[in-house]
Every structure is written in structure tokens, then in C-alpha cells.
């Protein structure tokens, strides 16, 4: 009887140890979610769109009409290159095209008189098409001698100066569209039970010390399984001239009271 009791006692201890890790594992996500709820939610203002403009030709910069921080409209000139060499190449290509067309038209007339073979006629036609392609290529290159704004916005950073020679592919400036400032932050995934696109809240910006209205624009496509959180993208609801990209602050959002 004593041996049987000892075996039963040992089995009970093993069962208890086996159940303990499961209980800890089940409680871990809940603890992570609770910690996130108690933590201050921070967000940073970012522009709606942004990009880096780069040179598509190797040339000297003639003009940079706007300075760093300046605003611009869509289609406004931002960079003007010195493309005299490219213009000379276009003139050369046009002259070659004229010569090729003259030869082709002459061979067409001779072909009507059976004074030239079909091969010579086809070759002169091919030379004309080749010369036309060269003209088109040089015209396209000339079109790269100016860079216009792809959207309205502001110049965030100028990386080059006037009279500087740049290579094709070299970064020239960073531009942003700050017509609508966005916020990105993470919240507990359990908030998805009540959180929806368009939900309104407040954000307190450190740099201004003021509180601004905002609304949720997009909810992340997946939940982080470790932190039990989800990413939100929101926008400042309105235009406030003192707000600029890069500012940060505290998100004032909480679950509804039950």
C-alpha cells in the first residue's frame, strides 16, 4: 500500500509540472496585450507621399529655381540642366535622317525605272528608319534636361547645387507631399473588436504642445502574434500650418467604456 501511494503521489506531481508551461504560454499573449494597453502610444507625422528625384542624364545643373523648404505646384520646374551637348547630338541625328531620307526617296524613283535593285532599296529604307530612331532617342534625352514636380508639395532636402555636374542616377533632392499628414502607430489587437476605419481620436504633438483631431484611415492587414498588436494609419483631420513632417506626439485613444 505504501508503494502504491508513492506512485500516485509521483504521477500527480508530473501532471502538475506538465500543465504548468501550458498555463504560462496561454497567459503570455494576454500579458503582452495588457502591457501595450498600459503603455503610452506614440506616433510620428509623415507626409502623404514622398520621393527622391534623380538625374536621368549626365550634365551640369543650370538652375534650381526653388530653395530647400519651398513649396511647389504639380508640373512646376524643379531642376534645369545644361544640355547643349545633347542638343548638338540631336542636330547631328536630324542631319543623318535628312541624308537617309534623300537616299531612300532617290532609290524609290530609280526603282520605278528598274534602275536599282530591291536590296539597295530595302537597305536605304532601313537606314532611314535607323536614323529616325536616333532622332527619337535624342529627343527623349532632351526631354530629360528638365525635371518637373510629379505632385504638389515641398522640397525637404536639396542634395546638389547649381553649376554642379551630376551623373545619371545621382540623387538631386527629396520632395514631400504634406497636403495631408499621416500618423502610424500600434495598438492592442483586442481593440479590433470596436476599432473601425474612420474612427476619430486626438493626438497631442510634442513640438507644439497642442492637441489635434485625427481619424483612422487604414487598419493593418495582420496582427503581430508576439506583441498581440496591430498597426494603424491615421490622418490629421484638417490643415494646421504649424504641423510639419517629422513631429511626434502621444495618441489619445482608449477603448469605449462598457
pLDDT digits (tens, 9 = 90+) for 47-57: 989 999 999 99
Closest CA to 158 of 169, 174, 144, 143: 174
pLDDT in tens, 175-232: 999 888 999 999 999 999 999 999 999 999 999 999 999 999 999 999 999 989 999 9
Q: What pLDDT does 8 receive?
A: 53
CB atoms within 10 A of CB 13: 10
Residue 21: phi and psi, rounded to 5, are: -60, -35
Q: Same CATH fold, 49-78+150-177 and 32-48+178-252? A: no
**What's this model's pTM, rounded to 2 decimal places?**
0.70
**22's grid cell:** 501550458
Return the axis-axis angle of helices 118-143 and 84-112, rounded to nearest 10°. 160
Closest CA to 184 of 220, 211, 208, 213: 220
Q: Determine whether domain 49-78+150-177 maps to CATH 2.40.50.100.
A: yes
Q: What pLDDT does 218 receive?
A: 93
Residue 107: phi and psi, rounded to 5, are: -70, -30
Q: What pLDDT does 66 receive?
A: 94
Q: What pLDDT does 217 receive?
A: 93
3-state secondary structure of 135: helix
CATH number of 32-48+178-252: 2.40.30.170
CA–CA dist 145, 158 (Å, integer) = 18
Q: Which CATH number fits domain 84-144: 1.10.287, 1.20.140, 1.25.40, 1.10.3470?
A: 1.10.287
CA–CA dist 158, 172 (Å, integer) = 6
Q: Where are the domains of the chain?
A: 32-48+178-252, 49-78+150-177, 84-144
pLDDT beneath 70, residues of the chain: 1-38, 258
Amino acid at each position: 500500500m505504501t508503494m502504491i501511494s508513492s506512485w500516485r503521489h509521483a504521477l500527480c506531481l508530473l501532471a502538475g509540472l506538465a500543465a504548468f508551461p501550458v498555463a504560462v504560454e496561454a497567459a503570455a499573449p494576454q500579458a503582452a496585450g495588457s502591457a501595450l494597453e498600459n503603455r503610452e502610444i506614440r506616433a510620428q507625422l509623415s507626409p502623404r507621399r514622398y520621393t527622391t528625384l534623380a538625374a536621368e542624364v549626365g550634365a551640369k545643373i543650370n538652375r534650381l529655381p526653388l530653395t530647400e523648404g519651398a513649396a511647389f505646384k504639380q508640373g512646376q520646374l524643379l531642376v534645369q540642366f545644361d544640355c547643349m551637348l545633347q542638343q548638338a547630338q540631336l542636330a547631328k541625328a536630324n542631319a543623318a535622317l535628312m541624308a537617309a531620307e534623300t537616299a531612300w526617296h532617290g532609290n524609290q524613283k530609280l526603282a520605278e525605272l528598274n534602275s536599282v535593285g530591291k536590296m539597295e532599296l530595302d537597305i536605304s529604307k532601313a537606314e532611314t528608319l535607323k536614323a529616325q530612331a536616333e532622332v527619337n532617342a535624342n529627343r527623349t534625352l532632351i526631354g530629360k534636361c528638365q525635371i518637373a514636380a510629379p505632385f504638389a508639395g515641398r522640397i525637404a532636402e536639396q542634395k546638389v547645387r547649381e553649376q554642379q555636374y551630376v551623373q545619371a542616377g545621382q540623387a538631386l533632392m527629396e520632395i514631400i507631399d504634406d497636403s495631408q499628414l499621416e500618423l502610424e502607430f500600434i495598438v492592442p489587437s483586442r481593440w479590433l473588436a470596436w476599432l473601425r476605419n474612420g474612427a476619430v481620436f486626438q493626438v497631442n504633438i510634442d513640438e507644439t504642445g497642442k492637441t489635434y483631431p485625427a481619424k483612422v484611415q487604414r487598419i493593418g492587414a495582420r496582427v503581430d502574434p508576439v506583441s498581440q498588436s496591430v498597426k494603424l494609419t491615421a490622418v490629421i483631420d484638417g490643415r494646421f500650418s504649424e504641423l510639419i513632417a517629422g513631429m511626434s506626439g502621444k495618441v489619445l485613444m482608449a477603448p469605449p467604456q462598457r
